[in-house]
Structures are given as structure tokens and as C-alpha cells.
Structure 1
Amino acid sequence: MSLFESINSRFQGSYKFWKPEKNKNSSIVFKNKVFYKAKQGAIKSCELILIKNYLIKVIPDSINKITLLDWKIIEPFTEVNGDKERFGFSVGHRGCSRDFYVENEEKLNEWLDVLLPTCIMTDFSNDFSIVKEIGSGSFGVVYLALSNNDSKPYAVKAINKNNFSTTSSLNSVADEIKIMRMLDHPNIVKLHYVYEDSSLIYLVTDYVEGGNLHSRMVKKKVFNERTVSHFAEKMLGVLDYMSSLDIVHRDLKLENILMVSEENDYDFKIIDFGLAAEVTEGLHLRCGSPGYIAPEILRKHYYDAKADLFSLGVILYILLSGKMPFNGKNINDVLIKNREGKISFQHPAWKNVSKYASTLVLRLTEPLPSIRPTAREALQDSWLHQELNTTLPNIHPTSQPSESHTSHSE
């Protein structure tokens, strides 16, 4: 049984395959004539239309029918009858699926090209070859894999289905898939396909070969200010884009930023949306990585997309100074300082950084989210719009100048 079957019924609203269409006016992605077996085995034709993640069956002189594709299994098939071949694809789950026939193999491939990024597939080993393991964690293992079609490299996150012992854990991976499918940005790793077999769920994403920002930082110790300025502007652009979709990452850190190449230190892709969420009236789940978490999350307050801005401020602090802003003997010590949100510029490394850079870091790490800028507001910061050079004055506060940075309490 597919783990996505129950999710499909939840999002679809029932276990029925079709529902009456209710004014889906989005742009058409693809449409074509298909054939299906009606009652008593009669073969009928209809027009199928793909709109975003919905499939619509056009019924002349009647109400069209619609189905959500996100969590449905898709399987192509070929039927041989004598010397004739019939091509088609099946969509759905056990006892709740539909078979559609197409005119030829070319039409089948056209349908598969537009449906595969939206549905769940089952034939991972036929489509990809694992090359090597490139990462692991509590969620599963990440592999480098090559497409069997064109040898293009992909990163594949393989999640063991035994990990889904509770409904919440399954909902978590479903949320990750849903959010990643919403995102389409050059600085965000793209989710291309989702597969499921008897033991694993596979998330097939971009392969980024430059290593993560943490490894780059270990190698370089500190980045020059011009580079960090370029990086900051790109990151703020990504966060502004995510905010426009009401999405918050909730785990921005050096390890979750992959570098595109060795050519520069500001071309990147953000990865790992396992903790990402859609911003509703207010999120309150405590999550993230110690040292990067926005104080409002640790204070159990409601929070929104501005939480990612705090994490970015921490990242910029590290890139400019080579130091973590919150240190301690153990994780609990780090979390206490992280919760207070007080940072210092007393380390000698800050003597080589302009006041304009440290001012943006201060703005982004403001403990009070009501004062902290949005990504769009931060994009107007003067540091991002001036010629950086060695003549800029190096004047730094020793800690946050605003009252909220030094005296805030719950």
C-alpha cells in the first residue's frame, strides 16, 4: 500500500477519484485527447487538461470532473494484443484509479513529461542508477544518482518508510514535498520527482557539486566583505520570494546552503526543507538549529517569515568574522544566549569590517521581530548599494545599540 494514499484522500477530500470541477481558471499546462474504458467495456474518448497539479476531464454539455494529482501514483503501461501495442498510463491508488490510453508512444511520453513532476512514481531503479552516498541523517540517506535516460546527475534523498510510525511523521514529509513543489527559484534546490517503492520514498532534486557553505567556511576561515554583500543580497532575494509564498524555512544554517561551484562564494542553492512550513496566522512549533534560531521561536511566541531573517543575520555574522555569535560549553548554554539574542562585535576580526556591514547584521539579528526588517526592507540597506572598498570606516558597536537588544525579556 502506498503511504500517500491516505494523504491523497485528505487533500482530495474523499476516496473518490473525480470531483465536480469548481472554476479552475489557472493556465493550461497540457491538454490532449485520451481514451478510457467505460461501463460494459466500451472505449470512449475525452479531452484531458492538466492545470497546475489538477487533471480535468472535459465532458461536453455537462460539468467537468477534476482530480488532485499531488499524491497519486502514476504508472505507464503497454498492452499487447496480437501485433498491436496500446500505450497508456494509470493514475491513482488501489481501488481508486483510472486508466487512460493514448494514440501512440510519443503521446504517452508527452503526458509523462508533464505528469511526472506532479505525481508519485514507483519505478526508481528503472529510471536512475545510484553512484554513491553523499550524505546521511536521521531522515535517511542522500545519494548521487544518474538518470538512466541522459546520465544527468541528481541528488536523491532516500527516506526509509519504517520511519513513518506516526501520522505526524508522514505529514512532515508530505509538507516537505508540497512546499518544495511550490518553489521555483534559481537559488533554491529544485524537487524534480518523487518515487515510492516497498521500503523507501525518494526525493529527486538538483545535484549541487560545490559542497556546503560550512565546508567552504572551514577552508577559507572568513570571506571578504564584497563577497558577503553579494551573498546577502541574493539570500534576501530568496527570502523575499519565499515570503511572497508565505513559506518559512526554519532551519537556515551554513550546512543547508550548497555552493554551486568553486568559482565564487556567493552562488548557492538552499536545501533541506524538512522543517519548512506555510505561514498561517502564526506558527509556534519550536524547531531549528541551536545558534541560528530566532529568539521568538525559543520564547514560544508566535512567529512568521521574519524568523528566517534572524538566521540570515547569524550566517552573515559568521561569514564576516569567522566566529559564531552565540557560544557555550554545551547546547543548553548556546540556546540560552541564542534566546537572549545579544551579539557582540568586540572580536578583533570586526576591525576589518565596515560599520555598514555590521549595521545590517544588527538589524537582522534584532531580537524583537516587530523591529526586525522584512527581507524586502533589508534589500534597501545601504551596505548592499554602495561600492565596497578598504577606505570604509571601521566603526562598530560592541553590542546591539537598541534597547530591545540589550534589555528585552518576556
Structure 2
Amino acid sequence: MQQDGKADAVQAIDNCLRQRLLRSTKVMFFFHRHARHKDKLGRRSLDLSGAISMTADLARHFALPDVIFSNLPETFSSFDFTGSGMLCLEETRVMVKKTLLQWRWALSGGPAQLDGEFVTSTLEDGGYSVVREMGRGGQGIMYLARKTEESSSWFGYLSNCGQSQVRATYCIKFYSKKNANAGGLQEILEEFHRMKEFDNVHVARTFEAFHDQDFVYLVNEPYFGGDFTKLAKRAYDKGVEMRESWWRDIFRQCLEGLEYLHREAQMHCDIKEPNLMIRHDDDFTKPEVVLIDFGLAQNISVKVTGLSGTPGYIPPETWRKQRWQPQGDIFSLGVVFFQLMSARVPRSGLDKVQGIFQEGAKNVQDVGQLTVTCQPPWKLFPTHLRLLTELVSAMLRKDPEQRPRALQALQYGWFFSTSDQELPKDTLGSLISGSAKAFFKGELINELLEQLGRSSLLRPRLGL
């Protein structure tokens, strides 16, 4: 699209977005003109052809370029949050709004408009001091950090002219500029922009982003309960009985976080145990789950090609077509559920454990082939938990259209069951043992960091 055409398109999109009441009215009007079907709940709904006709009418009314809804054949099913095969009025409204916002973002240069928020600063200049490492992935390392901040209080007013010093705690993700996997400033700033818009108890929050000569930093809300690789050990230490009802609450929260993301037209694209964390470390009887790390997230409204994610969790359709869709996140989460219930959470080292689609693979291509063609090792799964088995089996179906959406998964019978059976003792023992090894490996890294010095500049340069 030429520059003049981009400017006209942005103006038309802004006009449509600004007129919320008119847009909502017109969406409803054109929806009812083209909605010739009813879903399972009896609601009038659009099939794909109806959606194409409806958006064409909407585009003509608001003088929007034809390209705005050109990806509809590929993205239509992604906005079908109920799995009915069609879009109801509310799903149509979400589809229109999110598509407009994504095109507005893309045509206006996106993160380039946020340069004022993406300042050049060192950790010290920002007032941060690193405490310890919290986790690491292919893109970067998470550190717990503290920052001295001004706080107004009555006591502070009496003692220090209205200002008191508060040591606030944050989780800072370090992206090394020398790490090719970390992506460029553009990609990291896009992650920052996405996370700033999130507002859900099960999705990570972010506060600011800045960079210096060596690193890009994202400052996030801290979570102290550890990730899912360490979950069983922490719960065991707190004296928690990890029975079926305990896992039910955890798995429900995972799906609720995904359901929120998908309604926000975002796909995580890297769901795995290290990217699922527990908010607090004080009480594991009812742990609060948070989805983190949106470095690979994609917008539903955009057709993005290319293989991304973590092998072993990447869904079959992404291996085949090199494209993500929301049901891919469901598959990845199904892998997590299966691996937790069968004590197959991957870990490296001399006693390494491979994931359910990694066993026997010699390279990444083998992992892809196993994911596409092989069934998970059900002999390791506690299939006596019949309703849970039904849920996980559905989440791991090879055909994405046969998998439940997040909202559908939450309606499975297991979440309404009162069954509270135990996991097999050998499985639970292996899960706790593996979790402890992951925990102590992290503790060893932090002990080495402590011995080498507390400098916030030294820590991330160690490469440990």
C-alpha cells in the first residue's frame, strides 16, 4: 500500500473506531442482514460467506480499504470462541474491533509510535537492583529486582516532608542484544505494548520498558510461587495433598487465562511449564496461576507464517502449515496437563526427562514428525481419572477443528465433577522428585550468582 493510501486507510479506521456507537449499530444492522443461520444455542449467526458479505457492507459504509478484512477466510474460525462453526453477534463485534485495531497498529508503524515510552536507561539509572534469578528461556532471563520509590503517607509527611522510601519488588526480563533468539527492539516493544493492554488476574502485567547498550528490559509484576516445573515440590513442602480437586482448580485457571487472551484476539504461541507461574509463595492450597512471557504471541487477526514456539508443545497444524491459530494454544496446554499428570515435565541434565512428543527424537524435525503422527503415551497417564482423560484427549486431537476452544474446554464435565481421587503414588513421587531437581538447579544458579557478587550488571552477563 502506497504512503498516501496508508494515510487514507488510517484515517478511515480512526473514524470507524472513534464512532463507537455508530460502529456498534452498523455491525448489528449488517449482521442481521447476513446472519441466515442459528447456532446450537439458537442465536442468529454468520457463516464464513455471510461474514465476508457483512464486512464488505461495513467497509463500504465507513470507506475502509478492502484489504482490512481480506484475511477473514483464514481468521474467521479463530473468533468462533464457542466452537459453533459460526459467529454470533458478540463474536462478530469482537472480530470487527480487533481487526480494525490490528490494522491501525500495522499501518501506523506500530511500536515506532511508542519511542517515547522506550527510553535508554541502565538498571541503576532506573533505580533497580537485582536480587536473584527467577527463570530463563530461549529469549531471555527473568530476575527479581527491587526499586526504591517515593511514597506519600502521613507518617512519611511527619518524618520526611511527605516522602518515604519504599522498596518495591518487580520481575525484570533481560533480553540480551547479542541473543538472536531474543528478537529486535521492534519485536520486544510489541510484546511490551501487548502486555500493557492486558487486564486479567491470570495474565501477566507489565509496567515499563527500557534498554541500554547490552540489554532490553521489560519490568513486570513479580510472581513468587515459581513456575510449573517447580510446582509439585513447592506444594509438597507446604504439606499440600495434590489430589484431583487441587489439580482441577489449577487447570481451570490456565484455561481461564487462555480464554481471556483469545477474546483479546491474542494467541500465546509458547504455552509450556516455565511460562505458567504461581502468583504467591505463601499458600499452595489454592495457588493462583498466571500466564507469562508473550514474546512469541501473535494477533488472531493477522495471517503470520513461519514456525515458532517450543518443539514438543507446537501443535501438529503449525508443523504442517507453519501457522498458529487459537486451538494451537489448547494443544500446547494439553501437553502441559498430560506431562504434569504423568510426571513427564521435561528437564535437562544427566537424568534428563523428555516430553511426550520428544522421546526418541534426534532433532527438531523428529519432534515435529512425532507430534504430527504419534499419540501421547496414554499408558503413563492416570486414566482412572476418566473425565480428566476425556478433557486432555480432546485438547490433544491432531485436527485443530476437533479440539475444544478454551470456553468449551471449561464446560467439560471434569470441571463440574466432585471426584477427588489421588494420583498414583509412583507418578506423584516422580513428579515431586523431578520438580525438586528443577528447583534445586535454580537455587544452585542463584548461589553461584551470590558468590560472584550482587552487581546487577554482572549477573546477566554471566551466561549461567
Higher relative contact order (CA 8 A, sep 6+): 2
2:399 to 368, 391, 395: 368
Q: Residue 126 of structure 1 contacts residue 148 of structure 1 at CA under 8 Å; is this kept in 2?
A: no
For the residue of structure 1 that corresponds to 2:400, the secondary structure is coil
CA–CA distance in structure 2, aligned partners of residues 142 and 360 of structure 1 = 32
Q: Residue 335 of structure 2 aligns with which residue?
A: 314
**Pairwise mapping of residues 288-327 of structure 1 onto structure 2 (< 5 A)?**
288-300=309-321, 302-323=323-344, 324-327=355-358
The CA distance in 1 between the partners of 2:262 and 2:167, in whole Å, is: 35
2:249 aligned to which of 224, 230, 233: 230
Tell me the residue number matched to 1:52. Answer: none
Shift of 1:228: 1.8
Separation in structure 2 between the aligned mates of residue 140 and residue 374 of structure 1, nearest angstrom: 30
Change (3 A) 1:354 1:142: closer
- Of residues 387, 391, 414, the one that matches 1:383 is 414
Q: Aligned partners of 2:334, 2:136: CA distance in 1, in Å?
A: 27
CA distance in 2, matches of 1:185, 1:258: 14
| Greater fraction of residues in strand | 1
Distance 1:242 1:213 in 2: 19
Partner residue in 2 for 1:147: 147
Q: Identity percentage over the alignment?
A: 24
The answer to whether the 8 A contact 1:225-1:320 is kept is: no
| Aligned length in residues | 290
Given that residues 144 and 171 in structure 2 are in contact (C-alpha distance below 8 angstroms), is that contact kept between their aligned partners in structure 1? yes
Q: CA deviation at 1:350?
A: 1.5
CA contact (8 A) 2:305 2:323 kept: yes
Instruction: State the Cα deviation string for residues 153-211 of structure 1 (Å, max 9, x = none).
Output: 10111223455799x73332233222212222111111111123344321100111111
8 Å CA contact 1:154–1:206 kept in 2: the answer is yes
Amino acid at match of 2:254: M
Give the structure with the larger helix fraction.
Answer: 2
Equivalents in 1 of 2:109, 2:298: separation in Å? 24
Q: Partner of 1:213 in structure 2?
A: 228
Q: Is the 8 A contact 1:193 1:205 kept in 2?
A: yes
**Corresponding residue to 1:337 among 365, 370, 374:** 370
User: Which letter does structure 2 place at the counterpart of 1:350?
Assistant: P
CA distance in 1 between counterparts of 2:223 and 2:184 reads 27
Give the letter aligned to residue 320 of structure 1.
M
**Superposition pairs of residues 11-410 of structure 1, within 5 angstroms:** 25=18, 71-73=113-115, 92=116, 119-123=117-121, 124-134=123-133, 135-149=135-149, 150-163=166-179, 169-217=184-232, 223-262=242-281, 263-264=283-284, 266-280=287-301, 282-300=303-321, 302-323=323-344, 324-332=355-363, 333-347=366-380, 350=382, 353-390=384-421
- The 3 A distance-change label for structure 1 pair 341 and 369 is farther
Does the CA-based 8 Å contact 2:140-2:176 persist in structure 1?
Answer: yes
Secondary structure of 2:340's aligned partner: helix
Coordinate RMSD, CA, aligned: 3.4
Which deviates the most, 120-129 or 374-383?
Answer: 120-129
Looking at structure 2, the residues matched to 334 and 223 of structure 1 have their Cα atoms a distance apart, in angstroms, of 31
Measure, in 2, the Cα distance between the counterparts of 1:69 and 1:339.
Answer: 36
C-alpha deviation, 1:72, in angstroms: 3.8
In the alignment, residue 373 of structure 2 is paired with which amino acid? E
Q: Against the structure 1 CA distance between its residues 26 and 251, is the aligned structure 2 distance closer, same or farther, given a 3 Å change threshold?
A: farther
Deviation at 1:236, TM superposition (A): 1.3
How many Å apart are 1:301 and its aligned residue?
Answer: 5.1
Q: Which amino acid aligns with 1:369?
A: P
The offset of 1:341, in angstroms, is: 4.9
Partners of 1:282 and 1:238 in 2: CA distance: 23
Please tell me whether the aligned partners of residues 291 and 334 of structure 1 are also in contact (alpha carbons under 8 angstroms): yes
Shift of 1:388: 1.9
How many angstroms apart in 2 are the aligned matches of 1:26 and 1:232? 40
Question: So what's the TM-score if we normalise by structure 1?
Answer: 0.62
Name structure 2 gaps, 5 residues minimum: 8-13, 21-107, 150-165, 345-354, 423-464
Aligned partner of 2:310: which letter? S
Extract unaligned runs of 5+ from structure 1: 1-9, 15-20, 28-65, 74-91, 93-118, 392-410
Structure 2: how far apart are the matches of 1:152 and 1:225?
37
